[in-house]
């Protein structure tokens, strides 16, 4: 039986992924955190958990699938800290893949755009109206969409690695640079 550790399994993408893997017959080990710990566990938690689990992952020739964000590549107003942590996830994943060369361990960074989850309430300081306005009139990705992507990557033949995958709903794009005009 295959085993997967899913961090953030208490809500959103993590919860959907846990359900998907359990339905696929995997043993799921889930952990979670709440919003008040978000800023603490975004970088150091990833590094500490990876370091703790890495010997076992190498032994089993497993896979590491990290969840980044397009915010690590494309800036948005008010997203400096969040975007910085997601840029770290991207680079950490690439460097980890390099460090694990020859071990058979696969490392992937999944970098999604707009997904309607409760995380938007965290990002907006609990402002439900702001969260609702963000998704009004568009068709965002869902946690289940991401769970299927994670499932696909995890169940690829062991000789294939997806380094990075960037996903956005059709109604979202990176709009390019903004220019402020005086006068």
Residue boundaries of the structural domains of the chain: 38-167
CATH superfamily of 38-167: NAD(P)-binding Rossmann-like Domain (3.40.50.720)
Q: What pLDDT is stored for residue 34 in this prediction?
A: 53
Catalytic residue among 74, 76, 82, 135: 82
Catalytic-residue membership of 76: no
Does the pLDDT value for residue 105 go beyond 50?
A: yes
Helix (H) or strand (E) holding 121: helix 119-123
Note whether 164 and 94 are within 8 A (CB).
yes
Lowest mean pLDDT among 37-46, 69-78, 97-106, 171-180: 37-46
This prediction's pTM: 0.86
Burial readout 76-85 (b: 16 or more C-beta within 10 A, e: otherwise): eeebeebbeb
Secondary structure of residue 69 in the 3-state scheme? coil
CA distances to 12, 45, 72 from 33, rounded to whole Å, are 12, 11, 21
């Amino acid at each position: 039986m295959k085993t997967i550790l899913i961090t953030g399994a208490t809500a959103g993408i993590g919860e959907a992924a846990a359900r998907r893997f359990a339905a696929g017959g995997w043993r799921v080990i889930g952990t979670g955190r709440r919003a008040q710990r978000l800023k603490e566990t975004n970088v150091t938690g990833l590094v500490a958990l990876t370091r703790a689990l890495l010997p076992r992952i190498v032994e089993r020739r497993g896979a590491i699938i990290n969840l980044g964000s397009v915010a690590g590549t494309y800036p948005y107003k008010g997203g400096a800290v969040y975007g910085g942590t997601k840029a770290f996830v991207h680079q950490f994943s690439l460097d980890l893949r390099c460090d694990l060369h020859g071990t058979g361990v696969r490392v992937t960074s999944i970098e999604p755009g707009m997904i309607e989850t409760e995380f938007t309430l965290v990002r907006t300081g609990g402002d439900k109206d702001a969260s609702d306005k963000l998704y009004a009139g568009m068709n965002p990705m869902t946690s289940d969409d991401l769970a299927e992507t994670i499932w696909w990557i995890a169940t690829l033949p062991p000789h294939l690695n997806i380094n990075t995958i960037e996903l956005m709903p059709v109604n979202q794009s990176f709009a390019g640079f903004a220019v402020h005009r005086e006068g």
